[in-house]
A = this chain, B = another copy of it.
Amino acid sequence: MGKLKVPKNGNRKDLIVKAGAALFREKGFGAASMRDLAENLGIEAASLYNHIRSKNEILESVCFNVANRFNLHLDEIETGTLSPIKKIETILRFHIQQMIDNYEEVMVSDREWKHLDEPYRSNFHTQRRNYRKRLATIIEDGIKKGEIKKIDAPTAVVILLHSVTGIESWHRSTAKISGAELEDNMVMIMIDGLRSK
């Protein structure tokens, strides 16, 4: 038998970041303590610092992991040949899927990014603004083509994005509908709301 490598190296940090996302979502970044986090992982607080440099670094990992995922997806969609309204629908469905599969990271990056230290905070803020501008451009394109009703595009973007965070409460609700039903309900409401009649 060949020697079994034990590569769990970067792995420990990923575990801490994941547990950090869960804790930050539950308590908020400011109210979450490193001692809490360590206890959730079954180790002492001091031991965390063998894998991460600071509490803020955990937040950085969460925020930029999420931002990268959304930026990459938008890159794909933007250069595609879908109609503007179909592009928006695809992006909306991606946001919903991310919230279903990954909602603790997504919520933390959405709500707690302001606690990022500089220069990360400014960097993240810029990425966020650019992402929204690119969505607004797609919507304006759809208005020009007559597919989307004449609305203020930046307003439509914030409504669209914030409506998705409503899914948070779906996660812990009892007697819930399936993820696919949830997605279709959201698309029915939001895309019909945008579409010109």
Contacts and interface: CB of A to CB of B under 8 A. Distances in A.
Contact of A166 (B161, B167, B181, B189): B161
B151 A158 contact: no
A185 B155 contact: yes
A35 interface: no
A170 B151 contact: no
Which one of A28, A156, A181, A194 has the greatest number of beta carbons of chain B within 10 Å? A28
Nearest to A191: B193
Nearest to A30: B31
A182 B153 CA distance: 11
A155 B186 contact: yes
Interface in A167-197: 167, 169-170, 173, 177, 181-182, 185-186, 188-194, 197
B193 A190 contact: yes
Copies of this chain: 2
A177 B156 CA distance: 12
Interface in A1-40: 27-32
24 contacts: A28-B28, A28-B29, A29-B31, A111-B111, A149-B188, A151-B188, A151-B189, A152-B177, A152-B181, A154-B173, A155-B166, A155-B185, A155-B186, A156-B189, A158-B167, A158-B169, A158-B170, A159-B186, A162-B164, A162-B165, A162-B166, A192-B193, A192-B197, A193-B194
10 residue pairs, one from A and one from B, having the closest CB atoms? A30-B31, A193-B193, A30-B30, A162-B166, A158-B166, A189-B193, A163-B163, A159-B163, A155-B185, A28-B30
